[in-house]
Amino acid sequence: MKFYSTSNRSHQVELSEAVIKGLAPDQGLYMPMEIPVLEEAFLENISDLTFREIGYRVIGALFSTDLTETQIKDLVDHTLSFDAPLVDLEEDVYSLELFHGPTLAFKDFGARFCSKLMSMLIAKSDQKVRVLVATSGDTGSAVANGFLGVEGVEVIILFPKGKVSELQEKQFTTLGQNVTSLEVDGVFDDCQRMVKSAFLDSELNEKLLLTSANSINIARWIPQCLYYFYAFSRLPKKGKKVVFSVPSGNFGNLAAGILAQKMGLPITHFVAATNENKVVPTFLGGEEFAAKPSVQTISNSMDVGNPSNFPRLLALYDFDENRLKTQVSGAFYSDAETIAAIQKVKKKGYTLDPHGAVGYLGLKDFMDANPDYQGVFLETAHPGKFRDVVENALGEKVILPERLAAFLKGEKQVFSMANDFEEFKTFLASLSS
């Protein structure tokens, strides 16, 4: 299958180039030229299948022209090595727990898929690949751990100083080996701008093979559609309309859900739920899209003022804004509302992280106005990753899983950097010497 740039549909590349390059030379994001629609029999019998069996079928439909059956099986087995349970929280409201992977965040799915696929594609190359990652939290930890020790790959992570939780930081700044962390004096959008500038710098790209493992890379983005299929397969009320509420920052996760819908999964509606960084909900509410400087909140992984996957949302609807606004609604919530949701749901015996709390609020508000739905909100990270926020909200300790607590014992190793591309470029250029 070929992949086109969202900035120019006539620019088309093979899978290997789309994955290794990450971003198109015209700054567009790669999209599959054709989105396969799965047969009705598969969807009708999906409840009888395991997570991996669903994965073989979905990934096979997307990549069978580029990968062998054995490669697809290996790729899916590596990616889906842990569960994503659907938890019945209240009447017709379900939490999809995506935090049972190595770094206890949803991005483990995409990072493991991306690292495995990239290692397959560069297996015969003698050139080192430099993976550049801008993170507001969970992307850095998932990518660092997903690529740790992968031969021929060096990971360079940029994160905003003082704006990532301690546990998130520890998960990528203590690893060493082929992972380097750069602490940027700025916000996430500065980190993202510096990474994109590196991809477009001809001088750097003559010396280094640069790629991305953010959700702008199709190898990070596409596999996220798998857990939408799996969640649907576990819903008990077949035939009832389904809505997914997706806590969103860069909007790759939401775009992956829409991809699943385009492949035939009968999702009726999506809610794009955010914190005060509300550029997409504002757009969905009828205004022009306008990027803005991000503001800091307690749900820091969503502190994004210029979401890079916005062009994908448009591309999935053939750049028809009205179609997008019909099937996706937006909602945004303050820190105070987020804390109140954590407290409310705790009374039901369930602990939310601040991002899941935003997703829960978006779902509840939609279902209050549309009671004929059953709904799923994505619980994207273990509450222990945001321990200070959750403990302050609840007035009680959050017990950390052992593998999460182990990261706290590591020693932080970082390079400090201004939010200046030239300084970043000098650092990258030194890698080739």
CA dihedral 380, 145, 223, 194 (to 10 degrees): 90
- Token readout for 128 is 């080192």
Closest CA to 88 of 378, 398, 376: 376
pLDDT per residue over 25-40, tens digit each?
898 999 999 999 999 9
- Token readout for 162 is 């003082």
pLDDT per residue over 337-368, tens digit each?
999 999 999 999 999 999 999 999 999 999 99
- Residue 196 pLDDT grade (very low, low, confident, very high; cuts 50, 70, 90): confident
Give the list of residues 6+ apart from residue 45 with CB closer than 8 angstroms, or none.
Answer: none
**Pairing mode of beta strands 30-32, 3-5:** antiparallel
Q: Is 348 a catalytic residue?
A: no
Please state, for a pLDDT cut of 70, what percent of the chain lies above it. Answer: 99
What's residue 410's pLDDT? 84
Contact 309, 251 (CB under 8 A): yes
pTM (whole model) above 0.85 = yes
Token pair 């991305």 is found at 212
| Mean pLDDT, rounded, for 249-259 | 96
Please state, for a pLDDT cut of 90, what percent of the chain lies above it. Answer: 73
pLDDT value at 61 more than 70: yes
What's residue 321's pLDDT? 96
- Choosing from 2, 21, 73, 107, the catalytic residue is 107
The single-letter code of the amino acid at 287 is: E
What's residue 216's pLDDT? 87
Separation of alpha carbons 210 and 204, rounded Å:
9
Closest CA to 110 of 195, 227, 202: 227
Contact 142, 105 (CB under 8 A): yes
Structural domains of the chain, with CATH: 82-104+221-394 (3.40.50.1100), 108-219+409-430 (3.40.50.1100)
pLDDT per residue over 374-401, tens digit each?
999 999 999 998 999 999 999 999 988 8
pLDDT value at 127 more than 80: no
The single-letter code of the amino acid at 333 is: Y
Q: H helices of 208-306, where?
A: 218-221, 226-234, 252-262, 279-284
